[in-house]
Amino acid sequence: MHDHRTLTARAQAALHPPHQRLWLVLLVACTLGLLAVLAGSQVTRAQDQPPVIVHKIVSHDVATIGETVTYSITILNAHTGALDLGMEDPLAADLSLVADSLQSSTGQAQYSDATHTITWGGALKPDETAVIRFRATLIDVPGVALKCSGEIINKVTIKAEQLPTLDASAQVALKRVCPDLGDAPDSTNHPAAGMTAYPGPIVARYPTVFDAATGTPPGPRHWLTKADAWLGKDVSGERDADLLPDEDGPANLDPAGDVPNRDRYDDGLLKLPQKVHCKLTTMDVEVTIVGGARERYLNAWIDWNRNGEWRDIFQCPSVDNVAAINYDWVVQNHVFSLGNGVHTITVPAFYAIDLPDTPADHWLRLTLSESPVPLDPSINLADGRGPPRGFRFGETEDYLVEFTPPQEEPKLTITKSADVTSTVPGGVIEYTIVVSNTGTGPATGVSVQDPIPAGTAYISGTLSATAPTADDSNPAIMQWTGNIPAGGA
């Protein structure tokens, strides 16, 4: 039975047509050739690549004191056999390991407080990986002069018992910065001290402090202060609005003393708006750009009703049956694209609000950023807050500004007429000159001079005026000097 089955199988193979047999032979030959090529390729890669591959990444590229970042280390055994591996990762002096944050996918990871080093050990099979993760907080180290600049570099090295000459390492750099924040009063601060916006007292609810632990919403934070664009001529960074270090000395806010407005580089506001109720106005802002031409966004808020926040809406009388709506958010994501240099930007016109019995000083915020500002979802309007992670570029400046009444200015017009259009020798011509002030302010020290035309002679004693003082002491020229009130003539 066994021999019969063997003969039958051979007989079936012999019945294949010649062309099909050729196809089968070619298929086998080509397949074997491809396997040979792949095998050669695998041998080549194994010879070229290192036996152990290590990668290290950090969750942020920039951080400030108090910021927590996550490090991740991946180790791959690219060797042909199993390896017993060990890892060392000394932490920089200004990094503090977050308790219970050290984890590994395999093997055993440990931290030595004595050496400030993370170690790991484990056995990996060929093509097996191990992932080690931990979180660390950037801390203020006494004696470190550069607290707002420089790089924190961490290098990890790998050793293998089976490969004594192994040289596998990876390093990652974290840039130490002090971002920019505003200096308007904020009652959600680190000391949890109530701050006032105005006497009364009016509680300050402007979003200025960034740290979410103090309360939300976060104030605007700009990570790279001089990498792209900023307001005015200069900008300084700080850890947070009420925390040191601060590049210009004191913190922007002193919550315990209820003292805001301590940033020294609020220099972007060039021209204040005019506060005439329900009238359009504008303002000029200076911007310095070093990052080339691309879209940037300018926003502004004014606390018109002085209630300690920037989230109110006002309505002015209708014009052509269209209601004039105004907001504390007076400049809304004004986008512009300018090249490098110092520029003056006149923002789009907005309605000013001057409520009865409202003092002249108001908190005003300017924010320059690379993206639109976030909205308060409860009102679908921006209230001065920043995004949860902060802006990458730009600056925020806060001002307690006093709006002075607009300067009253005169506007003079003059007309001259004669009582006749033609005359004969010996005829009399009576001239009338009218000077009107159509402006909003008085015109003082006005001087009018009218030479007597050639071919005519002044008739003595005929010069008169409705207001002092007319002067005909020189018969060749009639003169008048005096003051004209607004709306007068």
Question: What are the extents of the domains in the chain?
Answer: 52-176, 196-402, 412-484
Sorting pLDDT into bands at 50, 70 and 90, what band is 49?
confident
DSSP letters of 273-315? PP--TT-EE--EEEEEE-S-S-EEEEEEEE-TT-SS-S--EEE
Q: Closest Cα to residue 368, out of 274, 267, 275, 457? A: 267
Query: For residue 48, is pLDDT > 80?
Result: no
End-to-end, the C-alpha distance of the chain in Å comes to 136
Q: Which of 86-100, 125-139, 207-221, 430-444 is the least confident region?
A: 430-444
Query: For residue 4, is pLDDT > 70?
Result: no
Tens of pLDDT, residues 155-175: 999 999 999 999 999 999 999
Hey, what are 307's tokens? 């209630």
Q: Closest Cα to residue 161, out of 40, 79, 97? A: 79
Strand partners, 155: 171
pLDDT, residue 287, reads 99
DSSP letters of 328-357? SEEEEEEEEE--SEEEEEEPPPEE----TT
Are 333 and 284 a contacting pair, CB within 8 Å? no
Q: Closest Cα to residue 375, out of 386, 362, 390? A: 386
Q: Closest Cα to residue 449, out of 429, 430, 435, 466? A: 435
Strands 62-63 and 163-176: parallel
Write down how long the chain is.
489
Query: For residue 34, is pLDDT > 50?
Result: no
pLDDT, residue 12, reads 31
pLDDT, residue 320, reads 66
Sign (positive/negative) of CA torsion 460, 461, 467, 470?
positive
Stretch 175-184: mean pLDDT = 97
Q: Which helix (H) or strand (E) holds 483?
A: strand 477-484
Query: For residue 44, is pLDDT > 80?
Result: no
DSSP letters of 240-280? ETTEEEETTSS-S-BGGGTB----S----EEEPPP--TT-E
Judged on CB neighbours under 10 Å (0-12, 13-18, 19+), 26 is: exposed
Hey, what are 318's tokens? 């209708």
Q: Which of 267-276, 297-306, 322-331 is the least confident region?
A: 322-331
Query: For residue 424, is pLDDT > 60?
Result: yes
Q: What is the CATH number of domain 52-176?
A: 2.60.40.740
Strand partners, 454: none
In 60-180, beta strands by DSSP E: 62-63, 68-77, 83-90, 95-97, 103-104, 108-112, 117-124, 129-138, 151-160, 163-176
Stretch 457-471: mean pLDDT = 93
Query: For residue 30, is pLDDT > 60?
Result: no
Tens of pLDDT, residues 332-350: 999 999 999 999 999 999 9
237 vs 25, higher pLDDT: 237
Hey, what are 320's tokens? 């052509």
pLDDT, residue 21, reads 36
Q: Which of 39-48, 163-172, 225-234 is the least confident region?
A: 39-48
pLDDT, residue 486, reads 85
Query: For residue 117, is pLDDT > 90?
Result: yes
Are 324 and 317 a contacting pair, CB within 8 Å? yes
Query: For residue 1, is pLDDT > 60?
Result: no
Query: For residue 105, is pLDDT > 60?
Result: yes
Query: For residue 31, is pLDDT > 60?
Result: no
Q: What is the mean pLDDT of the chain?
A: 89
pLDDT, residue 146, reads 72
Stretch 309-321: mean pLDDT = 87
Query: For residue 207, is pLDDT > 50?
Result: yes
151 Cβ neighbours under 8 A, 6+ residues apart? 173, 174, 175, 176
What percentage of the chain carries pLDDT values higher than 90? 80
pLDDT, residue 144, reads 65
The residue behind tokens 């070619």 is 26
pLDDT, residue 145, reads 64
Q: Which of 52-56, 186-190, 193-197, 319-323 is the least confident region?
A: 319-323
Stretch 290-316: mean pLDDT = 98
Tens of pLDDT, residues 445-456: 999 999 999 999
Sorting pLDDT into bands at 50, 70 and 90, what band is 18?
very low
Q: Which of 196-200, 321-325, 364-368, 424-428 is the least confident region?
A: 321-325
352 vs 31, higher pLDDT: 352
